[in-house]
Structure 1
């Protein structure tokens, strides 16, 4: 599979990590047969943990469950260094299920509010102004780190795809950057309010 075929898909983590991992595994297998190790490598390359809440360790559980339900099947098994290397392929039933999962992901409401931040801001009168500033400055630093991480991922994707990034993938990254900047602006406004 080439990087050109990798598209970013964003999900509300609350929709369920199991949902996301099943969707991504089926999507990868719809492109080509792969081993669990290959799938793991692709998901790490896609940074699926960051944007999809995917726990990389859950891949093998998902593979077993998808196989049990007839969505994928074992197409090859060879002895590797320490254990068998199993290659999986998607079935016709899996292709139909993949379409259902994609449709469901597009219809699922996925707006997330920073509820703990909102609660903290609403109740911050219980803290000293120094504590509030320290906490919010820490939040800004974490947002800067997140922005740099997403930027690094964007640059790696552009490089891997020879700057031929699909328009939908660019939109996803643009939205991620906008969300981070909006959160930064919000915290800066809170800090300004504290000064008045």
Structure 2
């Protein structure tokens, strides 16, 4: 798994444990039921390694076990250090560019769930400002090259400009629909708190069949 995927797994675990104490199998099933592996760099099989690492770092702690001796599951809860780390990671993700179709930022609910509306707005406004400055720099570079631009440089300029503009548009859309997004995050949070995903049926949970 790449570093982005490992980072996202840790973020998701901390987010999940900030809502309730549970075992790795439930988080693994949550990932599988939402088909995250199909469109993101996250992998359900990496949950246990990530949880061991987070425990070693003091971000989560073991609080008990459930089940029989051979099939017992370790129950973890987030620590205060873990909650601080979760907020730190959330800010970091909001400040990152959208790198590709599997960008962590598309998994928005664990990122913004522990931030206030004001914190989200300030962080995104700052990031959009940085992107706008980047757009100016790209345009200035192109203007300096006028008359000496190869076809591949023209194509590169077009791609860079469109990429940065698309990122600006995405972040502005998030700000424009922030209340709606926060409401959706609250609904997802409530579902996670109520549902034991380790016992959930894929079809019954996510399809009207």
TM-score, normalised via structure 1 length: 0.49
